[in-house]
Amino acid sequence: MHVIPGEAMAMVTAHARAADNVDSGYSFVHCTVTGTGKTAYLGRAWKPFSKVVFSYSDLSDVVHPEGWSDFGKKEFDSWFDANVKPLDARKDNLDPALVAAEANKTIIKVRSDGSGDFKTLTDAINSIPEGNKRRVIISIGGGNYTEKVKIERSKPFITLYGDPKNVPNIIFNGTAKEYNTVDSATVVVESEYFSAVNINFVNSAPRPDGKRELAQAAALRTGGDKASLYNCKMFGFQDTFCDDSGKHFFKDCYIEGTVDFIFGNGKSLYLNTEMHVIPGEAMAMVTAHARAADNVDSGYSFVHCTVTGTGKTAYLGRAWKPFSKVVFSYSDLSDVVHPEGWSDFGKKEFDSWFDANVKPLDARKDNLDPALVAAEANKTIIKVRSDGSGDFKTLTDAINSIPEANKRRVIISIGGGNYTEKVKIERSKPFITLYGDPKNVPNIIFNGTAKEYNTVDSATVVVESEYFSAVNINFVNSAPRPDGKRELAQAAALRTGGDKASLYNCKMFGFQDTFCDDSGKHFFKDCYIEGTVDFIFGNGKSLYLNTEMHVIPGEAMAMVTAHARAADNVDSGYSFVHCTVTGTGKTAYLGRAWKPFSKVVFSYSDLSDVVHPEGWSDFGKKEFDSWFDANVKPLEARKDNLDPALVAAEANKTIIKVRSDGSGDFKTLTDAINSIPEGNKRRVIISIAGGNYTEKVKIERSKPFITLYGDPKNVPNIIFNGTAKEYNTVDSATVVVESEYFSAVNINFVNSAPRPDGKRELAQAAALRTGGDKASLYNCKMFGFQDTFCDDSGKHFFKDCYIEGTVDFIFGNGKSLYLSRWLMIFYFFLKNIEHRDACNSREAMAMVTAHARAADNVDSGYSFVHCTVTGTGKTAYLGRAWKPFSKVVFSYSDLSDVVHPEGWSDFGKKEFDSWFDANVKPLDARKDNLDPALVAAEANKTIIKVRSDGSGDFKTLTDAINSIPEGNKRRVIISIGGGNYTEKIKIERSKPFITLYGDPKNVPNIIFNGTAKEYNTVDSATVVVESEYFSAVNINFVNSAPRPDGKRELAQAAALRTGGDKASLYNCKMFGFQDTFCDDSGKHFFKDCYIEGTVDFIFGNGKSLYLNTEMHVIPGEAMAMVTAHARAADNVDSGYSFVHCTVTGTGKTAYLGRAWKPFSKVVFSYSDLSDVVHPEGWSDFGKKEFDRSVTVSV
């Protein structure tokens, strides 16, 4: 492009892209801009979304330094201003050494013909001084440079820039025999900030033949941090490229080889790069990554790359080290890649994590949906190309070609371009995938609105079938933006109304109601959704990962979501994890109360300033706030109940930035903490960037309110190697916290001391010690061996954390709650154990916890809820009796086979067992006092699986129960998968010992709509249990009959009736209105349950104990009653006892119970009774004569 002289302001381009979803733009590659005119701009903002890219191009001095002109249209700069900052605005966040180097460039020319500054690269590099601090660009002319080049660590900021039209080759024939493998490279780079552009790196040594020793021959080795390569190629055979250590970036590159041709321990991103497998190797390997431990921050990531070749089948990588980390995403893998993808290379021990977490298809197929397994095994591909070069020109024609009741995976491959059509995938056509060209993503466009189609069916693509997926698709509704004048102007881009849908790298464009996430379970990853009002709406149960929601400007009140969950027992909700909310619109809410039980969760997500500080809007429906108002109080209402010091500190936050590269306020944590004054009274958030911080950190008692906040996308490691020998055990910790109100988020605490071997004394080595009160940790990891974490003293809270170790790896005297946590036990074995008796030694026996509660009146203990204990070590105990009153509780947790069947060890301290021995007897000692029928049944368990999708033994509970013989004498556990089971169930008296066990992560709903009119009251129950020894765990019992309205006769509708003796329920819920639960007769036990209703919603004549159970009063009844107990005579042994329970609700004033029978007996103790309970507590229900005989205690 040549600029003609004479214009005051010259413009090379003016591009007319008017909207973000328009697929147009100018791309200039290997071009030149010349001229003799005045300063020219590369382009101007003619339209708001103009798109112009110059790459690998030579821009002469005629080009203005700014490059681009907004041509006076500042409003077009919104995206640029939001996403790209000028150097002055960014320089505080950049590495200052890099900023200084780039501001002071110099160029050295290397030409093999002698026309440059030097003839060889070696001479050019030798001319650069040690300690160089400026960017030195070595411009290399075309040709061959046969030399071995090394860039020492003392020479950073070097760029090798090859002629783009005649790319130079740097060639040498070094092998491992002469130099060792990593130093055999033709070019060895040990310095930081290295870059290379347009270079071919070649090792010309012969191909290894299996006969010559040490024949590995590398072309390039990058061993310094912050390296980048563009448009470079590497040629070799075995070990072509040593991607050694540090953070590296590669774009538009090419690497070829045979075995391990990308190897090392780098943390590297490869974009649009080709790995080419050379033919002839028996077993080719693309990568060999050397990550040796789980806390090492390294790995190879390949994005939009290709693996090609003509060689024999190749693996994407092999297990060179135990924690090798390699990811391929959005990449094309040709047939040269082996179907297994990865090789353990004979190191089965490296597969431990994989084996524990990922099962081969044969091992999993019984747990998978058989219809899906069959469909995926029988794929077919249909090509749609708008130019007619495929099987069809339109999506509609392609979908019409698929038969109804399709049972195979049909992949519709869609070429780039615009497809202007309204598409519908009917319910009868499951297993369809829309797969767009990743390099030219297709747009499916239509302009439907609610006026023509209704809102949900206005969508450009309507999906009603199951098992739908979409990859690389733009869904666009091109209808005009609603202006408040046109009626029914909502216009959706996509609607997913079938179950088990997934979308990857898809975008949805619209304004109001862009995406109808309608119903069913859906998964979204790497997507983008934009809109104004309710632009994600519906009643789906959906997980969004790494997805951007973009708010379009101009709306008075923007809403990201509008979720339609209408009842508390509906299993739906939107969950956004590692997502972003961006926009240039006015302040937007994350969602609104469309229905009374809307459920939306954002976690680990970045919310820009476009989000309103309140986050959520009740949209004028105050009645929908009942649960929130009952359970969550605004700060003003709560502040009198909160610690005033904490309230004051949180109201006065400050942030300190720690960056290891010097770009923050401090380079070390120690310096940051030292800067905080003693007696600090404000919340100090220390923002810590990714990287390794090798230091021993102590937060003194005099410095409360400190938060360590790590970068969630690049979690920092705080590392030290202290041991008990130097510091004593508790102070060996890498981070010692003695202050109150400490918190940590996204931090890895690492003690890198060697593993105790039984020979070194005092080898305990802690990663973290929390010794102050009111500490909390989220998404943190602790790495060590013995005594990893000293949970020392005070109240502490942990969520989504990970702790690994061998012996006593959680120890101390804290009072702590651990939620959703991983505890990892290492394989532990001492080489010096020679005798069998030594197997009882401390070192040979792994211990998760060692709690130090020394007296019964000490208020401390560890509680683990929804946690997991995993490991590859020998059998481990959950804890040991370190002190006589150690207190450890695991509940609702997954304990893998690594846990010893006994669970707990007295560690040879029999005297600590006194309380246990006095109160808990082993089965052998108790069996004479136990019901012999129960003992026999529990010793002879069997499991029946019920799955609504047909993947179990039965699809319905009724069929499972029918399969149990009358007179059954064994414990039958009916394992029930998640979902809805719409059936009326009865367990007859002749079938005792039945357990209903629901999936704890996806609790099943048993639903029916029976009423007293059809069945009588007690038999209206969805589940009727008449047998003994019944139990239920993780079950929702639902009666879906309408609420009694006072007009319909016999409208009572029970969810559950327990009429047999010795029943127990744990973590169960019962939903209904009048007479929800018939606690009929017999001894019953309930723990961690929930029961809701209006009138008499717990009724019957049972003798029952309720622990930690919530009774919830539904609003709207003139006189609500929690219980109606039916004890008719003083000598009847029955009654309801509620201990540590809660009564909640938004209904009118409710009574705890009424005098249904003359000797009703109800006791509430140690329970929280909300304002919903009438001050009198009990009602005689007009039966004054019963007031002398009933028993009521509150």
Q: What is the pLDDT of residue 835?
A: 25
Q: Write the CA distances from 218 to 188, 274, 1069, integer angstroms.
A: 9, 18, 64
Burial of 100: CB neighbours in 10 Å, binned 0-12, 13-18, 19+: middle
715-725: b or e for each residue (b if 16 or more CB lie within 10 Å)? bbbbbbebbbe
Q: What is the pLDDT of residue 18?
A: 81
Beta carbons within 10 angstroms of residue 427's beta carbon: 12
DSSP class of residue 347 equals -
Taking alpha carbons only, the member of 1001, 959, 1005, 954 closest to residue 979 is 1005
Q: Is 260 a catalytic residue?
A: yes
Beta carbons within 10 angstroms of residue 727's beta carbon: 18
Report pLDDT digits (tens) over 925-949: 666 777 888 888 888 899 999 999 8
User: Rounded CA gap, 90 and 580, in Å?
Assistant: 21
Secondary structure (3-state) at 1124: strand
Q: What is the pTM of this model?
A: 0.53
3-class secondary structure per residue, 862-926: EEEECCEEEECCCCEEEEECCCCCCCEEEECCEECCCECCCCEECCCCHHHHHHHHHHCCCHHHH
Q: What is the pLDDT of residue 357?
A: 54
The parts of the chain modelled with pLDDT lower than 50 are 826-843
Secondary structure (3-state) at 452: helix
Count Cα neighbours of 514 within 13 Å in the Cβ-side half-sphere. 25
Residue pair 867/824 in contact by the 8 Å Cβ criterion: no
And the tokens for 222? Answer: 């990058």
DSSP assignment string, 747-810 = -EEEE-SPPP-SSSTT----SEEE-SSSEEEES-EEE-STT-EEE-SSEEEEES-EEEESSS-E
Residue pair 194/214 in contact by the 8 Å Cβ criterion: no
Task: Give residue 210's region: left, alpha or beta (phi > 0; psi -120 to 50).
Answer: left
- Out of 243, 244, 260, 518, pick the active-site residue: 260
- Out of 792, 808, 1079, 1080, pick the active-site residue: 808
And the tokens for 860? Answer: 């401390």
Residues 6+ apart with CB under 8 A from 1126: 1099, 1100, 1101, 1134, 1156, 1157, 1160
Q: Write the CA distances from 517 to 345, 387, 527, 539, integer angstroms.
A: 44, 32, 14, 7
Domains of the chain: 2-84 (no CATH), 99-362 (2.160.20.10), 368-482+491-498 (2.160.20.10), 647-919 (2.160.20.10), 998-1193 (2.160.20.10)
Q: What is the pLDDT of residue 312?
A: 63
Q: Is 534 a catalytic residue?
A: yes
The arrangement of strands across the sheet holding 32-35 comes to 2-3, 32-35, 58-59
- Out of 239, 513, 792, 1096, pick the active-site residue: 1096
And the tokens for 570? Answer: 């509906």
Secondary structure (3-state) at 673: helix
CA torsion sign, 582 to 584 to 590 to 596? negative
Q: What is the pLDDT of residue 678?
A: 94
Q: What is the pLDDT of residue 577?
A: 92
Length of the chain counted residue by residue = 1194
Beta carbons within 10 angstroms of residue 263's beta carbon: 30
Q: What is the pLDDT of residue 283?
A: 74
Burial of 86: CB neighbours in 10 Å, binned 0-12, 13-18, 19+: exposed
DSSP class of residue 127 equals T
CA torsion sign, 289 to 295 to 296 to 302? positive
Residues 6+ apart with CB under 8 A from 528: 506, 507, 508, 547, 548, 550
For the chain, give the longest Cα–Cα distance: 118
DSSP class of residue 4 equals P
Measured in whole angstroms, the distance separating CA 1122 from the mean position of its chain's CA atoms is 40
- Out of 534, 791, 792, 1080, pick the active-site residue: 534
Beta carbons within 10 angstroms of residue 712's beta carbon: 14
Q: Which amino acid is at 147?
A: E
Q: Is 1096 a catalytic residue?
A: yes
Q: For 176, phi and psi rounded to 5 degrees?
A: -65, -25
Strand partners, 943: 973
1142-1165: b or e for each residue (b if 16 or more CB lie within 10 Å)? ebbbbbebbbbbbbbbbbbbbbbe
Residues 6+ apart with CB under 8 A from 364: none
User: Rounded CA gap, 423 and 445, in Å?
Assistant: 9
User: Rounded CA gap, 1088 and 1066, in Å?
Assistant: 6
DSSP class of residue 619 equals T
Report pLDDT digits (tens) over 568-589: 778 899 999 989 999 875 678 8
Report the number of secondary-structure helices (H) and strands (E) in the chain. Answer: 20, 109
∠ CA 160-164-167, rounded to 5°: 70
Measured in whole angstroms, the distance separating CA 678 from the mean position of its chain's CA atoms is 38
Q: What is the pLDDT of residue 625?
A: 61
Secondary structure (3-state) at 144: strand
- DSSP alpha helix (H) spans, 239-394: 352-357, 361-364, 370-376
User: Rounded CA gap, 524 and 475, in Å?
Assistant: 14
Residue pair 732/676 in contact by the 8 Å Cβ criterion: no
Q: For 236, phi and psi rounded to 5 degrees?
A: -175, -165
